Amino acid sequence: MNANLSNTRVVRAPRGAELNAKSWQTEGPLRLLMNNLDPEVAERPQDLVVYGGIGRAARDWKSFDAIVEQLKDLESDETLLVQSGKPVGVLRTHKGAPRVLIANGNLVPHWATWEKFHELDRLGLTMFGQMTAGSWLYIGSQGIVQGTFETFSEIGRRHFGGETAGRLVMTGGLGGMGGAQPLAATMAGFNAIVAECQPSKIEFRLRSGYLDTQAPNLSDALAMIEKANADGKPLSVAVPGNVIDMLEETQRLGITPDVLTDQTSAHDPVNGYLPHGWTLEKWESMRESDPDAVSKAAKESMARHVGLMLDFEEKGSIVLEYGNNLRAMAQEAGAENAFGFPGFVEAYVRPLFCRGKGPFRWVALSGDPEDIYKTDAKVRELMPDDAFLHTWLDKARKHIKFQGLPSRICWVGLGDRHRLGLAFNEMVRNGELSAPVVIGRDHMDSGSVASPNRETEGMKDGSDAISDWPILNALMNAANGATWVSFHHGGGMGMGYSQHAGIALVADGSAEADAMIERTLWNDPASGVIRHADAGYESAIECAEEFGLNIPMPQR
């Protein structure tokens, strides 16, 4: 890892309606960059690591300071270029152009490996941006909780007739994203047992309210769940230790979980997955001294891990990969039939993507939770018939503790995103909200990602590995004039496995923001509908027809 990292300073976004930059269009990215490193938000802020293994917000502290300085000075006709977490240029563009353009971790395909990346990272030339770490739109575990809730709810409907009470989800990993699993599972009515090898992560999730409790071992966790279920409540319990040990113990006890998945950072075999039988100390020191040995041991453990998951599938568990590339890493270590169970997008999320539905989100720059509650009410008003969304908003209000700047995520699609965005901008204009909001989404969305083991796994026309789509998405969003646009490599699944694009828009109440929001929040989900219609998905073709999208060569 690059020098000039570890630093003990504490970063937190400014709050309130006073500007630190020259306009809200630059104050937005400034606050969101800082918010990504808020100790309430980031996993290892001292190393600039936001989430997902080594997903960073800036290349090093010097670059962070330089980005902050540039954002404070940026004029409304200038654009800041950020190359893998380092500000490399400010160019005169025009008022309607993006204020920041970001490219993170991109490598020419033949060189797109972890080995090459680490070599360049050590030289201080690049940075792993994950998805929303390096594009400054991470909102803590809430960012994934609704998607995970949607997935678990769909599993409940499809496999258990909606009867999830008393049923058990087992999984691993309580990091930035994985930490959403226990809350999403209990929201969907399941119990959850999660193995996590780092006690500090368990403490973080208990503190932030995403996890109910912890137990010293599996038997105690099961006993706690039995008791809670007798009282009519679902319960989430963390079990400290290696996930493989927990699954082997589950086998010994003769238990078959109803649902089995995993969210360790398997996509990064050097930094993200504790090899079986290793102590945390050995893991940490070997990562520096012999990363190749760590990677080899981690992949061998993943092969064993996937073997256990396949055994449970045979016994009747619903098994799925939760977007961490575990199956591919296990396959590299020789696991047979590693792809014998599906990924979550192919199995549960694609129908949503076909309608441009994905993890739409917004952040209150004021820092005032009331601003988010007012936008929640606006969503209900504008989408009165979406009962599932209303349930989500009720549960989110009750269970989600904000991390850093208050924010909300709602999975909505084409035809709704721009309506909500325009309404929020109106609320800023008329003073209902106490400051502007930033609107955006995860890179894991309908039209913004190519990732053959996750978002584009098993596409109907075989176009899984075609990455023209996210590139078109990023180009189009720059043309739309979104406030900032990013294009990354490797997020979610690791180097060589994914390419993806992000957007963020500052709704500052202006007429210019109205125009930007209307264009971007229509075109962005529309590009997802077009991508899926082109692949031949019937529901995407119907959605395109319903909304009158101009598709010159329709698939029927």
**Catalytic residue numbers, as ranges:** 410
Pairing of the two strands 49-51 and 55-56 = antiparallel
Q: Is the dihedral of CA 238, 244, 247, 252 positive or negative?
A: negative
Tell me if 183 contacts ligand NAD by CB under 6 A.
no
What is the spatial distance between Cα 123 and Cα 241, in angstroms, rounded to a whole number? 34
User: Smaller CB distance to ligand NAD: residue 191 or 263?
Assistant: 263
Q: Is 186 annotated as a binding residue?
A: no
User: Smaller CB distance to ligand NAD: residue 178 or 509?
Assistant: 178
Q: Is 497 annotated as a binding residue?
A: no
Tell me if 174 contacts ligand NAD by CB under 6 A.
yes
Among 45, 87, 134, 178, binds ligand NAD (CB under 6 A): 178
User: Smaller CB distance to ligand NAD: residue 272 or 406?
Assistant: 272
User: Smaller CB distance to ligand NAD: residue 27 or 43?
Assistant: 43
Q: Is 273 annotated as a binding residue?
A: yes
Q: How many CB atoms lie within 10 A of CB 122?
A: 13
Tell me if 242 contacts ligand NAD by CB under 6 A.
yes
Torsion-angle region of residue 237: left (phi > 0), alpha (psi -120 to 50) or beta?
beta
- Binding track, positions 302-341, relative to ligand NAD; x by CB under 6 A: --------------------xxx-----------------
Among 2, 84, 263, 403, binds ligand NAD (CB under 6 A): 263
Tell me if 529 contacts ligand NAD by CB under 6 A.
no
What order of strands is seen across the sheet that includes strand 259-260? 213-214, 236-240, 191-196, 168-172, 259-260, 318-319
User: Smaller CB distance to ligand NAD: residue 99 or 454?
Assistant: 454
What Rg value do the Cα atoms of the chain yield, rounded?
Answer: 22
Tell me if 173 contacts ligand NAD by CB under 6 A.
yes
User: Smaller CB distance to ligand NAD: residue 54 or 529?
Assistant: 54
Tell me if 343 contacts ligand NAD by CB under 6 A.
no
Of 394, 406, 401, 441, which Cα lies nearest the Cα of 420? Answer: 441
Q: Is 266 annotated as a binding residue?
A: yes
DSSP letters of 390-416?
HHHHHHHHHHPPP-SS-EEEEEE-TTT
Give the Å distances, CA to CA, from 290 to 6, 222, 284, 293, 506.
Answer: 20, 38, 10, 6, 44
Number of residues near ligand NAD (by CB under 6 A):
33
Tell me if 358 contacts ligand NAD by CB under 6 A.
no
Among 492, 496, 502, 528, binds ligand NAD (CB under 6 A): 492
Q: Is 490 annotated as a binding residue?
A: no
What is the spatial distance between Cα 189 and Cα 206, in angstroms, rounded to a whole number? 19
DSSP letters of 452-515?
TTTTTTT-TTS-TT--HHHHHHHHHHHHHT-SEEEEEESTTT-TTS-EEEEEEEEE-S-HHHHH
| Residues 375 and 432: beta-carbon distance below 8 Å | no
Among 98, 272, 291, 509, binds ligand NAD (CB under 6 A): 272
Report phi then psi at 78, rounded to 5: -120, 155
Q: Which listed range, 46-54, 231-239, 406-414, 507-515, lies at the site for ligand NAD (CB under 6 A)?
A: 46-54
Name residues contacting ligand NAD, limited to 136-165 (CB under 6 A).
Answer: 144, 147
SS3 (DSSP) at 139: strand
Tell me if 177 contacts ligand NAD by CB under 6 A.
yes
Q: Is 177 annotated as a binding residue?
A: yes
* Residue with nearest beta carbon to ligand NAD: 175
Of 556, 520, 519, which Cα lies nearest the Cα of 539? Answer: 556
Q: Is 52 annotated as a binding residue?
A: yes
User: Smaller CB distance to ligand NAD: residue 242 or 467?
Assistant: 242
Residues making up the binding site for NAD(+): 52-53, 130, 176-178, 196, 263-267, 273-274, 322, 492
Applying CB under 6 A, the residues found at the interface with ligand NAD are 43, 51-53, 144, 147, 172-178, 195-198, 201, 242-243, 263-267, 272-274, 322-324, 444, 492
